[in-house]
Chain A
């Protein structure tokens, strides 16, 4: 390109949009669910959330310094905060501080900066970090607590929580409790039929609000759904990935549930439990790592849905969102290469249309 300032071209009007605005809108959409979850899980969760985001920002700044990139411009684009935010939502809320720091480091350095920074990464950074943590620290990553909302009897106070988060004292009794998906998986593997496994654990109402154990993003179905719809209305994301993904999960679940209800939970269970909605609206739709065409996005969504269902149902992991999204991220370049819009005046293969009428 020639020197641009001399010949600076049009258009000379621009839509009210920016990378920063896009990221901020996603964060706004996450606020209700996050706020409610932080309230539910109390101070230890708040500590983890703050630590994860703060370390992501610091690590990002460091990377920018090393790469000699404009720091203010890239640090304020919001992408590091959003990545850390989504990561924090996929961690057990009472995880120790170093999980947050390590996760942020993996997400920013390995997930993003190694590829060349914003827009260059192939994989969703938050999910790269989550999977790396899950494989390396299975115990810490699967120790969930039952919610104990701020201000209630069992909830730890701020000072207690600090001690707890930083592992200084084990002054808080961790009431550990499996997530619904994890519980069902364990019970099913022990040969206990589904209905029995769900008893007392599967409270649809509680789950849709978030009053269940699990990582933050796994719990409040309805608030995340509200955020997701907000993103679609604001046109930050399009409906294609979430609809394709949720639809595929629902169809698969219904199909197998019809075949054997004792073994396979129904569609509703799959949709409201785990990170299904968070994944469909906030993780799979990550702009950088999903296809750019609408048809590509549909295919991507279907792929994610299939993989989520397969991993949940037939592998050792109770939740497959992170793996599913990462696998489909790897397919994105291929999808974008082969699925393209039809060019005006050409056939889908790229040949000029045959002229109709005229001479």
Chain B
């Protein structure tokens, strides 16, 4: 198959040999599981259980809430201990709302939806199944997969690309999954294709995974709709838009979704999770995690129940041989530093890395020497040094003008910078600030709108009051006239004054 060129990219030290030959081992069920309500992009799931409840394996413990969300399931049977704030596997270290449960050691299944044959089901049935199974993008993006499947309804799609590039250094979980569960991955890919109503599936694998390539090629023999292609090894080959361009030659316009050009990308681990959810009815409760890095005694690939504390994975791998300079969740390029090893493995956790000082190779920041390495490395055609210079001066709009919003935060620029300038960090900071400012502006706009509405209401009320007064006056006048007549007739008097004044002060209070 013809491949297409993309610009930029870097060749980090892949370090995959640490784990690439290690078969996936099943991690024993830990005594305690912590399941955050927010393991996906979108709205937080809504807890369905209370402290003390007994739950079965696979039972929904938190429901998807809102348009973009995903449910959470119990990874084993046991007792809910509570819903509380717990350290998140995230750089911020901020706690997340988390359901903690104690395993009863029985691993008893709850009632699961029946197995389906995707090729005898409608696209909607498949998408609905994926939705209730809590499957999210497992390459780390964690976007609820079902939402991406529903795109088949709104968009005319042509091609599904299954992302087996695994371009982050160290990680081999997708590599192993493809080798060991090739049929499941393939079935999941074809299931997704059916849900999306596309006829064309491309499984793209970086050429530094020859074993996975040949196993997948073997598995797809006889399926004319599925092509397995080896793509060049280069970071960030797995970036959605770049991956699509490499295999199809089509460039996604800035600000558009890949679906707008008829393409959708799903990760291999996601495909496998879809296969399991559809064919067996099992929700997403486990995932493969690469535990690696120079400070890990025996690097491994592990099949881990979602909610397992990261510390248990490290212990299972023999612990640390030396003090780790950094413990990361995910790969070294885009991963996040871990604050506490009590934090759990979540749906998007593809790696746990304990890196030594030499591996992270950190140095003091120097001034930019305008070497242009970052320009050459950027896969998005940006000039990182200039964006960083503007952000340093807090000129965020100027940074946007030269492409900040087109930056995919891949870190290629920072990786090559001889001055060790934390370029990606500048960009993430600026994007965060802009979002906050936008939010602030929206808030201000809403406030302004509310104020305007109030103004309108007030004016209307005034007018209504005036009209009423005028009416009353007229009535009074009429009454007075009538009374005068009556007085004249019967010489009797009445004073309705009081009533009128009470009515005037009891106008309804403002409700905002």
Knowing A19-B419, A358-B261, say if A345 contacts B406 (CB, 8 Å).
yes
**Which of B245-253, B444-452, B487-495 lies at the interface with chain A?**
B245-253
Interface flag for A77 (CB, 8 Å): yes
Interface flag for B1 (CB, 8 Å): no
**Which of A252-260, A286-294, A303-311 lies at the interface with chain B?**
A286-294
CB pair A13 B169 closer than 8 Å: yes
Docked complex Cα distance between A101 and B337 (Å):
50
CB pair B370 A119 closer than 8 Å: yes
CB pair A19 B334 closer than 8 Å: no
Residue of B nearest to A346 (CB): B254
Docked complex Cα distance between A353 and B256 (Å):
10
CB pair B381 A294 closer than 8 Å: no
Interface of chain A: mostly helix, strand, loop or mixed: loop
Residue of A nearest to B293 (CB): A12
Interface string of B357-393 (1 = CB under 8 A from A): 0011111101111111101101111110110000110
CB pair A4 B380 closer than 8 Å: no
CB pair B254 A353 closer than 8 Å: yes
CB pair A10 B333 closer than 8 Å: yes
CB pair B360 A14 closer than 8 Å: yes
Within 8 A of B (CB), among A134-151: none
Residue of B nearest to A292 (CB): B372
CB pair B369 A12 closer than 8 Å: no
Knowing A346-B406, A355-B256, say if A21 contacts B418 (CB, 8 Å).
yes
Interface string of A342-359 (1 = CB under 8 A from B): 111110001011111111
Residue of A nearest to B405 (CB): A343
Say how far A231's CB is from chain B's closest CB, in angstroms. 12
User: Which of B155, B253, B368 is the one whose CB lies under 8 Å from A352?
Assistant: B253
Say how far B426's CB is from chain A's closest CB, in angstroms. 7
Knowing A1-B392, A2-B429, A287-B370, say if A12 contacts B332 (CB, 8 Å).
yes
With a cutoff of 8 Å between Cβ atoms, the chain A residues found around residue B366 in the complex are: 18-19, 73, 77, 118-119
Residue of A nearest to B361 (CB): A14
Between B7, B91, B370, B391, the greatest number of chain A beta carbons within 10 A of the residue's beta carbon is seen for B370
Residue of B nearest to A240 (CB): B372
CB pair A16 B369 closer than 8 Å: no
Say how far A291's CB is from chain B's closest CB, in angstroms. 8
Docked complex Cα distance between A290 and B251 (Å):
31
Docked complex Cα distance between A17 and B414 (Å):
11
Docked complex Cα distance between A291 and B383 (Å):
11
With a cutoff of 8 Å between Cβ atoms, the chain B residues found around residue A77 in the complex are: 366
User: Which of A13, A22, A119, A336 is the one whose CB lies under 8 Å from B13?
Assistant: A13
With a cutoff of 8 Å between Cβ atoms, the chain B residues found around residue A1 in the complex are: 391-392, 425-426, 429
Within 8 A of A (CB), among B227-281: 241-242, 250-256, 259-263
With a cutoff of 8 Å between Cβ atoms, the chain B residues found around residue A291 in the complex are: 372
Residue of A nearest to B156 (CB): A359
Between A1, A11, A291, the greatest number of chain B beta carbons within 10 A of the residue's beta carbon is seen for A11
CB pair A357 B254 closer than 8 Å: no
CB pair A341 B375 closer than 8 Å: yes
Knowing A341-B383, A343-B382, A355-B253, say if A14 contacts B362 (CB, 8 Å).
yes
Interface flag for B10 (CB, 8 Å): yes
Say how far A186's CB is from chain B's closest CB, in angstroms. 39
CB pair B337 A8 closer than 8 Å: yes
Residue of A nearest to B416 (CB): A15
Residue of B nearest to A237 (CB): B371
Knowing A344-B381, A345-B256, say if A11 contacts B419 (CB, 8 Å).
no
CB pair B261 A14 closer than 8 Å: no
With a cutoff of 8 Å between Cβ atoms, the chain B residues found around residue A119 in the complex are: 366-370, 419
CB pair A18 B403 closer than 8 Å: no
With a cutoff of 8 Å between Cβ atoms, the chain B residues found around residue A238 in the complex are: 376
Interface string of B149-182 (1 = CB under 8 A from A): 0000011111000000000010000000000000
Docked complex Cα distance between A345 and B241 (Å):
9
Say how far A192's CB is from chain B's closest CB, in angstroms. 45
Summed over the interface, the residue pairs from A and B with CB atoms below 8 Å come to a total of: 195
Docked complex Cα distance between A94 and B259 (Å):
70
Within 8 A of B (CB), among A319-359: 336, 340-346, 350, 352-359
CB pair A287 B253 closer than 8 Å: no
Knowing A10-B333, A10-B424, say if A293 contacts B369 (CB, 8 Å).
no
Interface flag for B346 (CB, 8 Å): no
Say how far A295's CB is from chain B's closest CB, in angstroms. 11
User: Which of B157, B363, B382 is the one whose CB lies under 8 Å from A341?
Assistant: B382
Within 8 A of A (CB), among B1-27: 7, 10, 12-13
CB pair A342 B381 closer than 8 Å: yes
Interface flag for A120 (CB, 8 Å): yes
With a cutoff of 8 Å between Cβ atoms, the chain B residues found around residue A288 in the complex are: 369-370
User: Which of A2, A13, A358 is the one whose CB lies under 8 Å from B359?
Assistant: A13
CB pair B418 A18 closer than 8 Å: yes
CB pair A287 B254 closer than 8 Å: no
CB pair B403 A343 closer than 8 Å: yes
Residue of A nearest to B365 (CB): A4
Interface flag for A117 (CB, 8 Å): yes
With a cutoff of 8 Å between Cβ atoms, the chain B residues found around residue A15 in the complex are: 10, 12, 415-416
CB pair A354 B367 closer than 8 Å: no
CB pair B420 A14 closer than 8 Å: yes
CB pair A358 B334 closer than 8 Å: no
Residue of A nearest to B92 (CB): A7
Docked complex Cα distance between A77 and B381 (Å):
29
Residue of A nearest to B430 (CB): A1
Interface flag for B428 (CB, 8 Å): yes
Residue of B nearest to A350 (CB): B403
CB pair A292 B370 closer than 8 Å: yes
Interface flag for B439 (CB, 8 Å): no
Interface string of B385-413 (1 = CB under 8 A from A): 11000011000000000110010000100
With a cutoff of 8 Å between Cβ atoms, the chain B residues found around residue A191 in the complex are: none
Docked complex Cα distance between A110 and B418 (Å):
25
Residue of B nearest to A297 (CB): B372
CB pair A358 B260 closer than 8 Å: yes
Interface flag for B335 (CB, 8 Å): yes
Interface flag for A200 (CB, 8 Å): no
With a cutoff of 8 Å between Cβ atoms, the chain A residues found around residue B10 in the complex are: 15
Within 8 A of B (CB), among A107-137: 117-120
What would 17 A/B residue contacts be, using CB atoms closer than 8 Å? A8-B425, A10-B335, A10-B424, A12-B333, A14-B414, A14-B415, A17-B373, A18-B420, A77-B366, A288-B369, A292-B371, A341-B378, A345-B256, A345-B380, A346-B403, A352-B254, A357-B158
Known: A294-B372, A344-B242. 20 other contacts (CB 8 A): A1-B429, A2-B429, A8-B422, A9-B422, A10-B334, A12-B353, A13-B355, A14-B415, A15-B416, A17-B418, A18-B363, A18-B366, A73-B364, A336-B383, A340-B383, A343-B254, A352-B254, A358-B156, A358-B263, A359-B156
Interface residues of A (CB under 8 A from B): 1-2, 4, 7-19, 21-22, 73, 77, 79, 117-120, 238, 287-294, 297, 336, 340-346, 350, 352-359
